[in-house]
Copies of this chain bind each other. A is one copy, B any other.
Amino acid sequence: MGVAYSSLPSPFPCTATIHITGSSLFPYASKANPERVINSIFNHTNNICLANLQKPTKKFGSFSRFSHHSTCLGSKIVPSKCCAKVREMETQERILQKPLIDFHGIDEELVQKMVYDALVWSSLHGLVVGDKSVQRSGKVPGVGLVHAPFALLPMAFPESQWNLACEVAPIFNELIDRVSLDGKFLQDALSRTKKVDAFTSGLLDIHSKMLEINKKEEIRLGLHRSDYMLDEQTKLLLQIELNTISASFPGLGCRVSELHRSLLNYHGEHIGLDPRRIPGNTSVDKFAEALAKAWTEHNRPRALVMVVVQPEECNMYDQHWLCAALKDRHNVTTIRKTLAEIDKEGEILPDGTLLVGGQEISVVYFRAGYAPTDYPSEAEWRARLLMEQSSAVKCPSISYHLAGTKKIQQELAKPNMLERFLENKEDISKLQKCFAGLWSLEDSDIIKKAIERPELFVMKPQREGGGNNFYGDDVRTNLVRLQKEGTQEDAAYILMQRIFPTVSPTILVREGICHKDHAISELGVYGAYLRNKEKVIVNEQCGYLMRTKVSSSNEGGVAAGFAVLDSIYLS
């Protein structure tokens, strides 16, 4: 058991002592709030349409360290006029880290050529999203397409940390399954949150009903994604969150790895990168295989897999890649239904069979239902309950969903908690290595510390789908307010150690435009888990997703930027 900050009482399960000195490690931290953006964009909006995120600000004040460096691609290659500026940024950046490859130093003509090739590749190979500015693009496939935003080249990532992230994936899979079986633990841990958060309360109500009727899920399917950041100074891989519902981008993530491999096949020599250092990415095939095996376990040959979708979904092609793999490789057919449609068309036969529109459903795969906005009326809650009551395999079940909440993540980070669910000491130790500091707001010592040094903490609402994290001075302000008010609102939040990830010079491409900037990355590792009454059928790490995010700051202290899909270059 380690100590997070030498002076803090710590349930922080890592072995190294961490010294975080915000000002030297991340000099613009208090202004830039990089993690704020990461969290608001990455973590809670699983199905976000990346192409339509806020555009990077063009206003830079005197505190601005990094400026954007964009070139619009036309039929001609336009050489950059900002080289001097870029070089200045690089000099500053080297204080922070020496990048494996200085992407900003690559010959501008080669960059433009690679950007063009990458845009063509994306268009021909389905690395696309719906363009929110085009009508019907979130409803009708084939219209209003635009390439998904991507990093031009893969992000360097230490092989040892990559291996660790892969190793822990099956352990996290197992942990979630064990936790999901402990209904009392879930109810108790979330009991205070329930009182102040209507969404969690809605989920817990369904969970309670299932406990009351002693409903057992004999076939349990988890398609998770565990998200990590690499702490710059300690080089520790720290978990941001574990998504047990709607883990997005298994489809497009694989495409980006292929894009990068294709680019490096042709241009890698010129920039000293070897395409074989990009790990194979099989998330879409492995997820499809797990869904197909769950379908087989359920053993109703005429039944379908139902994808629960939002009424509009610009990220539909990510989902379609998965459905295409399911059909092409396993001949399993999917249908897409919104929660409202399921409420209208769904029914359960006396034997528990779920029918939707008269068709039997053997597996329900959620790509909606993770955020309060997915439940605008009682109809959607009824649909969720209906599915939960049925004998269909739910991915996830209500228990799996709850086991992935932030409050549970925080509970599991408490000392001796993992031991309640796992036996293997080595496994427990590996998971604990990945835990960032996590605290409930009932912990008065930590509240005191956080008010003193708010720049070292993130205050996160339990509620999903938000982007409502607090950073810096806002942490202090809100903690003080909560203390004064003395209500139970504190139960709606957890405190998390602020992670300061490596900042790297990066080339990001969005809407056909190339931006040179400095960025931070978040690694998501997919895990698939399937078991029946007797045995575990699937438990594996299955691919990854890198997301890279501009870490610009501006005078106003409001972080601006956008996230793109990325892949890994093992270093």
Contact = CB atoms under 8 A, between A and B. Distances in A.
Interface of A: 72-76, 116, 119-126, 128, 131, 134, 136, 139-147, 266, 309, 311, 317, 320-321, 323-324, 327, 336, 338, 341, 511-512
Contacts of A139: 73-75
Contact of A124 (B74, B311, B317): B317
A276 to B, nearest CB: 18
A166 to B, nearest CB: 27
A269 to B, nearest CB: 13
Nearest to A116: B141
A13 to B, nearest CB: 42
A142 B146 contact: yes
Contacts of A119: 140-143
Contacts of A141: 73, 116, 119-120, 122-123, 147, 512
Contacts of A128: 123, 145
23 contacts: A72-B140, A75-B139, A75-B338, A76-B341, A116-B141, A120-B141, A120-B317, A121-B324, A122-B141, A123-B126, A123-B145, A124-B320, A124-B321, A124-B324, A125-B125, A126-B126, A134-B134, A136-B512, A142-B146, A143-B512, A145-B146, A145-B147, A266-B327
A125 B126 contact: yes
Nearest to A319: B120
Residue from the set A120, A124, A142, A511 with the largest chain B CB neighbour count within 10 Å: A142
Q: How many copies does the complex hold?
A: 2
A477 to B, nearest CB: 42
B146 A144 contact: yes
Contacts of A73: 139-141
Contacts of A74: 139-140
A255 to B, nearest CB: 9
Contact of A511 (B72, B120, B143): B143
A230 to B, nearest CB: 30
A145 B122 CA distance: 11
Contacts of A336: 75
A512 B316 CA distance: 15
Contacts of A121: 324
Q: Which 3 A-B pairs have the closest CB atoms?
A: A142-B147, A119-B142, A124-B126
A136 B513 CA distance: 11
A98 B476 CA distance: 79
Nearest to A74: B139
A144 B124 CA distance: 13
Residue from the set A121, A126, A336 with the largest chain B CB neighbour count within 10 Å: A126
Contacts of A327: 266
A136 B123 CA distance: 14
A116 to B, nearest CB: 7
Nearest to A147: B142
Given A120-B323, A123-B128, A124-B321, 18 more contacts: A73-B140, A74-B140, A75-B309, A75-B341, A76-B341, A119-B141, A119-B143, A122-B141, A123-B145, A123-B317, A124-B324, A128-B145, A136-B512, A141-B147, A142-B512, A143-B511, A144-B146, A266-B327
Contacts of A142: 119-120, 122-123, 146-147, 512
A145 B131 CA distance: 9
Contacts of A120: 141-142, 317, 320, 323-324
A388 to B, nearest CB: 23
Nearest to A338: B75
Nearest to A125: B126
A72 B142 CA distance: 13
Contacts of A140: 72-74, 119, 512
Contacts of A76: 341
A107 to B, nearest CB: 15
Nearest to A316: B120
B146 A311 contact: no
Residue from the set A73, A119, A140, A146 with the largest chain B CB neighbour count within 10 Å: A140
Contacts of A144: 131, 146
A266 to B, nearest CB: 7
A166 B142 CA distance: 33
A142 B150 CA distance: 11
Contact of A143 (B116, B136, B147, B266): B147
Nearest to A310: B75
Contacts of A116: 141
B126 A320 contact: no
Contacts of A324: 120-121, 124
A143 to B, nearest CB: 4
A335 to B, nearest CB: 9
A75 B311 contact: yes
A143 B147 CA distance: 6
Contacts of A143: 119, 131, 146-147, 511-512
Nearest to A266: B327
